[in-house]
Structure formats: structure tokens, C-alpha cells
């Protein structure tokens, strides 16, 4: 048990406990659903393209529509969660995901598939800031990177589940038209679990105590949620709210936004362009391979390269440093893309290409795929935390949209090697933009945003006096 202290200090200093695990699972289930819904379209599109005779540009549009919607959802839900509170939105974004996924399974034509994927994408976008901040605001200082990283690592399960489902359905001999509908519709199942667990979560104690000024409620709910593992008194320093105008006019927060949104944009261009287009890439390097073989290779890459990257990232990030790990990942990932782009003939050699492709995935997870999610959840003041994360995630999905939409087009005009050379350039820019960010490892979120917190408190006092 911890010594009794106010909500903020109690959370910052609390030892790892079962209530942290509950928060990880509650937030992480949402991110598992996000990952499955986003990436399963890659396998489904191979079947849909043949059934509906889609052009390359239409394939790119279907694959990227959800990402544009994710941009909208991240912006809207991120801002709303700072205005009305996190609790009122817990589960709502999951409901939108679930309904959208179910509707896609019954799409009568390509237009309705695009519409339903857009609806689902709004829910996915809304889940990004909610999942990340839900965890960061329950985390302690020492293990914050690990805990938020564990939430993000649920993406690994989503990445693996997609190819497993695809391989199982294809191997069963099921009709292609039914198989892709089941692939997409299954995304509704985990969304139901998310709704149930999210509705049982209390409001974020930090938000309640620091922004709403309800320290007594926050302390009581934290004692219950932690099963009395954390002893909390009922006082806290209220910081009030930073207005959106103050946020976008503050030089420090704008620089932070450039770093978090910019690096995430650059990374998502590379990551989503490759991940959703993995079946297309496999077709280029092994044109005579069956779809089952291509999906099996995708599963192998995710299981052998990506999953260890996720595990190593969350287990070591607080020791290495959040910013430092991002620099390492961008550098190594970029070099892997450069190798795939410049080594003569490698795009026609299956094994050497898959090795480098796997290395790029390992350092994507052991680096910016994990850290962009974490940094955006810890570098903003509490009253603008989901706003900052939502803007960063939304801008990132613009990068993802561009990557997914352009990848099939670029491979036709520049070839796979030329397309991967461009991806290398994006990784280099990611390294440079990471340098503008502070190192948040082993520091409280309150100390990272001290100047902005003072601005909020001052504005609240002036408002109260008026």
C-alpha cells in the first residue's frame, strides 16, 4: 500500500498493481479492435478486387477510406474528451466501430462498402486518443511507457489475428464472396467487449481532480478501482482548462505538436502503405504464389519480426528512453527500406527480401509505431491531452491515407524498389523531427507541462474573479 497523498501524486508514485492491468486490458481491447479492422482490409481487398473487378485506384480508395475517417474521428473525439470528459465517451467510439464493421459485411456494392468503412473509421479514430490517454492518466511515472506501450501492443494481436482468420477461411474452401464478408464482419465481436469494459471504468482521476475540481470524487473512485491499493486524500491542485486558442498560440505546445503529429504522419505513410499493401507486395516478389501462401508469409513476418518488436519495446522503453527509442527505430527501419530499394534484384528474391522486410517491421514496432502513440499521450497538459493526441493521431492518418492510396500507384510507375526508396526518405525526416521533442521517460506528466499548467491555473483564477 502507498502512503496517503493527493490523486496526482498517488498515481505518479503508485507501485504496479492489478488496477493497472485492468486499465491496460480495458484500453488495449479497443486498440486490438482498431488494428484488426484497419489491417484486415488488405486480405479482403484481394478477394473483393476479383469479385467486383476493381481498378488499382479504386483498390487504393477502398483501402484508405477508413484512414480519412480515422482522421475525422481522432480530431472530434480527441477534442470532445477534453471538453466533456473521458467517461462520457468510453465505449461510444467502440459502438461506432462495431456497427461499422457489421455493416461492411453486408455491403451490396463498392459504394456502400466505402460508406460503411468510413463510419467504422470514425470510431477507430475516436478510440486512439481515448485508449492512449485512458492509460497514461492511470499510469505511474516509472512504468508509464511500459503501460501505454502494452496498450499499443494489442495492435500486434490484431495484426496476427487478421492473417489467421484469412488463412483459415481461404483454406476451408469457402466461397470468396462469403469469406471477405466474414473477415470484415468479425471486427464487430471485440468491439462488444470493449463497450462492456469501458462503461465500467470511472472517469480519469487526473482529469476529474485537476480539470473538473472534483478531487473528492476522484479519490473515492480511485480507492474503489484500485481495491484500496492506492491510498488517496481528497485534495489536489486544480489547474483549470487551457482553451483551444491558448493551445494553438502557445509556442511550446505548437512545437510539441509539430514533433508528435509530424513524426506520426511520416511513420504512418510508411507503415500503413506497406502493411495494407502487403498482399500486393507479396504478389510482386512471388507472382506465382497463391493467396494462402502470401497470407502465410504475412503472418510469419508479423509473428517472427513484429511481435518481438512490440514486446521488446514495452519492456525496455522506460530504460532506453521514449524519445531515444523513436530515434533508434526510425534509423534502423529506414536503413532496411533503403536496402530493399537499392540492392539490385532483391525484389525478385523472396527470402532476402522477406528478411529485410521483417527487419523493417521489427524496428517499426521497436521504435516509432509504439513511441508515436506514447509520446502523444504524455507531452500535453491534462486539459488538452486528448486534444493533442487526437490531432497527432488524425494528422498521422492523413499520412497513412496517402501511403495506402499511393502505394499501388507508385509501384506501377516507380516499381517496388523506387517506392521503398521514398519510404526511406520519410524515415530520415522522422529522425529529424523527433529531435524537437523532449525526453519524457521517468518524468511526471505534470512536470513536462509545468508552464502550460501555470497558464491554465492563471486563466482559471482570472475567470473566477471576473
pTM equals: 0.87
Q: What per-residue confidence (pLDDT) applies to 407?
A: 81
Q: What pLDDT is recorded for position 156? A: 83
Q: How far apart are CA 224 and CA 440, in angstroms?
A: 29
DSSP assignment string, 342-392: HSTTGGG-HHHHHHHHHHHHHHHHTTHHHHHHHHTTTSS-GGGHHHHHHHH
Condensed to tens digits (0 to 9), the pLDDT of residues 25-73 reads: 999 998 899 889 988 887 888 889 888 988 877 887 887 788 889 999 9
Report percent pLDDT > 70 for the chain.
92
Query: 51-65, 318-332, 398-412, 445-459 — which is least confidently predicted?
Result: 445-459
pLDDT band at 100 (very low <50, low <70, confident <90, very high): very high
Once rounded to an integer, what is the mean pLDDT over residues 306-310?
Answer: 89
pLDDT digits (tens, 9 = 90+) for 250-263: 999 999 999 999 99
* CB count in 10 Å sphere of residue 422: 18
Distance of CA 161 to the CA centre of its chain: 17
From the number of C-beta atoms within 10 Å of its C-beta (0-12, 13-18, 19+), residue 185 rates as middle
332 pLDDT higher than 80: yes
Rounded Cα distance, 155 and 402, in Å: 21
The CA distance from 215 to 204, in Å, is 11
8 Å CB contact between 308 and 153: no
Lowest mean pLDDT among 240-249, 259-268, 362-371, 456-465: 456-465
pLDDT of residue 1: 42
- Report all structural domains of the chain as residue ranges with CATH numbers, in order of start: 7-459 (1.20.1250.20)
Tell me, what's the pLDDT at 420?
87
Whether 142 and 442 have beta carbons less than 8 Å apart is answered as: yes
Closest Cα to residue 236, out of 265, 193, 206? 206
The CB-based long-range contact list for 145-149 (8 Å cut-off, 24+ gap) reads 145/314, 145/317, 145/318, 145/322, 145/374, 145/441, 146/314, 146/315, 146/317, 146/318, 147/20, 147/23, 147/24, 148/373, 148/374, 148/377, 148/378, 149/310, 149/313, 149/314, 149/317, 149/370, 149/374
Q: Would you state the cell numbers that stand for residue 153, as one nine-digit string? A: 501492443
The residue-averaged pLDDT of 435-446 equals 96
Q: Distance (Å, rounded) from C-alpha 326 to C-alpha 348?
A: 31
Q: Could you identify the residue written with the cell 527509442?
A: 325
Residue spans of alpha helices (H) in 200-243 = 205-206, 215-225
Instruction: List residues bridging with 232 in a β-sheet.
Output: 5
Q: What is the pLDDT of residue 2?
A: 45
What is the DSSP secondary structure assignment for residue 87, as one 8-state letter?
G
Residue 230: DSSP 8-state: S
> What pLDDT sits at residue 236?
66
Answer whether residue 125 shows pLDDT above 90: yes
Indicate the average pLDDT of the chain. Answer: 88
Distances 138 to 28, 192, 195, 414, 442 between C-alpha atoms, Å: 13, 23, 19, 47, 15
Does 219 have pLDDT greater than 50? yes
Q: Residue 437: pLDDT above 60? A: yes
d(C-alpha 449, C-alpha 239), whole Å: 11
DSSP 8-state assignment for residue 207 = I
Q: Are 391 and 125 in contact (CB under 8 A)?
A: no
pLDDT of residue 278: 67
> Across residues 162-186, what is the average pLDDT?
90
Task: List pLDDT tens digits, range 342-383.
Answer: 888 887 787 888 888 889 989 999 999 999 999 999 999 999
Cβ atoms of 310 and 370 closer than 8 Å: yes
Amino acid at each position: 500500500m502507498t502512503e496517503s497523498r493527493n490523486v496526482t501524486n498517488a498515481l505518479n508514485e503508485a507501485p504496479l498493481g492489478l488496477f493497472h492491468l485492468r486499465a491496460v486490458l480495458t484500453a488495449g481491447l479497443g486498440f486490438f479492435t482498431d488494428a484488426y479492422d484497419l489491417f484486415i482490409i488488405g486480405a479482403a481487398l484481394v478477394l473483393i478486387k476479383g469479385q467486383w473487378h476493381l481498378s488499382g485506384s479504386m483498390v487504393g480508395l477502398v483501402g484508405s477510406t477508413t484512414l480519412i475517417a480515422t482522421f475525422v474521428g481522432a480530431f472530434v473525439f480527441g477534442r470532445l474528451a477534453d471538453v466533456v470528459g473521458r467517461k462520457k465517451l468510453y465505449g461510444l467510439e467502440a459502438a461506432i466501430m462495431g456497427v461499422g464493421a457489421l455493416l461492411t459485411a453486408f455491403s451490396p456494392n463498392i459504394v456502400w462498402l466505402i460508406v460503411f468503412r468510413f463510419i467504422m473509421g470514425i470510431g477507430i479514430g475516436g478510440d486512439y486518443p481515448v485508449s492512449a490517454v485512458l492509460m497514461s492518466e492511470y499510469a505511474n511515472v516509472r512504468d508509464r511507457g511500459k503501460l501505454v506501450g502494452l496498450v499499443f501492443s494489442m495492435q500486434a494481436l490484431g495484426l496476427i489475428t487478421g492473417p489467421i482468420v484469412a488463412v483459415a477461411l481461404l483454406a476451408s474452401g469457402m466461397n470468396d464472396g462469403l469469406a471477405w464478408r466474414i473477415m470484415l464482419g468479425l471486427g464487430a465481436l471485440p468491439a462488444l467487449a470493449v463497450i462492456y469494459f469501458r462503461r465500467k471504468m470511472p472517469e480519469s482521476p487526473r482529469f476529474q481532480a485537476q480539470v473538473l475540481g472534483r478531487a473528492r470524487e476522484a479519490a473515492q473512485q480511485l480507492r474503489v478501482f484500485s481495491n484500496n491499493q492506492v491510498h488517496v486524500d481528497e485534495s489536489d491542485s486544480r489547474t483549470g482548462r487551457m482553451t483551444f486558442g491558448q493551445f494553438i498560440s502557445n509556442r511550446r505546445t505548437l512545437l510539441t505538436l509539430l514533433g508528435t503529429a509530424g513524426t506520426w504522419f511520416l511513420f504512418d505513410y510508411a507503415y500503413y502503405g506497406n502493411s495494407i499493401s502487403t498482399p500486393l507486395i507479396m504478389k510482386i516478389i512471388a507472382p506465382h504464389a497463391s493467396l494462402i501462401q502470401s497470407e502465410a508469409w504475412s503472418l510469419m513476418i508479423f509473428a517472427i519480426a513484429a511481435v518481438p518488436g512490440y514486446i521488446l519495446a514495452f519492456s525496455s522503453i522506460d530504460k532506453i528512453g521514449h524519445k531515444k527509442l523513436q530515434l533508434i527505430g526510425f534509423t534502423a527501419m529506414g536503413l532496411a527500406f533503403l536496402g530493399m530499394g537499392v540492392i539490385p534484384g532483391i525484389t525478385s528474391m523472396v527470402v532476402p527480401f522477406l528478411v529485410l522486410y521483417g527487419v523493417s517491421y521489427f524496428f517499426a514496432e521497436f521504435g516509432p509505431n509504439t513511441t508515436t502513440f506514447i509520446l502523444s499521450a504524455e507531452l500535453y497538459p491534462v486539459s488538452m491531452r486528448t486534444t493533442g493526441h487526437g490531432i497527432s493521431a488524425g494528422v498521422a492518418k492523413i499520412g497513412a491515407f496517402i501511403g495506402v492510396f499511393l502505394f499501388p500507384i507508385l509501384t506501377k510507375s516507380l516499381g517496388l524498389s523506387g517506392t521503398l526508396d521514398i519510404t526511406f526518405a520519410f524515415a530520415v525526416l522522422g529522425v529529424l523531427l523527433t529531435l524537437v521533442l523532449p525526453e519524457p521517460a521517468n518524468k511526471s506528466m505534470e512536470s513536462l507541462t509545468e508552464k502550460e499548467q501555470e497558464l491554465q491555473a492563471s486563466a482559471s483564477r482570472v475567470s473566477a474573479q471576473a
